[in-house]
Amino acid sequence: NAGVMQNPRHLVRRRGQEARLRCSPMKGHSHVYWYRQLPEEGLKFMVYLQKENIIDESGMPKERFSAEFPKEGPSILRIQQVVRGDSAAYFCASSRLAQQMNTEAFFGQGTRLTVV
């Protein structure tokens, strides 16, 4: 049973380009969460999705960022017109149920985005 798979592991984009980050949750998991981590800081919640639904996007910047989790295929975090401040590690986590006691979230290895 493969864990949470994120790709690419490293992504370099020039300012103004688009970045697409993919996350395949663990088998049987229908809840996906995206987090962003700047160097030497903790992870910051961005968005929580279930299949075809955005449940909580309170941590998403209002512009340029979007996320989806289609019925088929991986969850996608899209960043349009990237700027240097978007450089960070982006982690995806999945769980079988909503965060509740005894339901842990499993994290992927992350995608390290560098904007040059």
By CB under 8 A, name the binding residues for another protein. 4, 31, 33, 35, 40-45, 48, 55-56, 59, 91-93, 98-102, 104-110, 112
Nearer to another protein, 87 or 106 (CB): 106
C-alpha distances in Å from residue 67, one per residue of 1, 27, 64, 102 = 25, 20, 10, 27
Minimal distance in Å, beta carbon 25 to another protein? Answer: 13
Nearer to another protein, 55 or 116 (CB): 55
Residue 10 main-chain phi, psi, to 5 deg: -130, 140
* Residue 54, amino acid: I
Minimal distance in Å, beta carbon 18 to another protein? Answer: 24
Distance of CA 104 to the CA centre of its chain: 17
Minimal distance in Å, beta carbon 48 to another protein? Answer: 5
Cα angle value 15/63/77 (rounded, 5°): 75
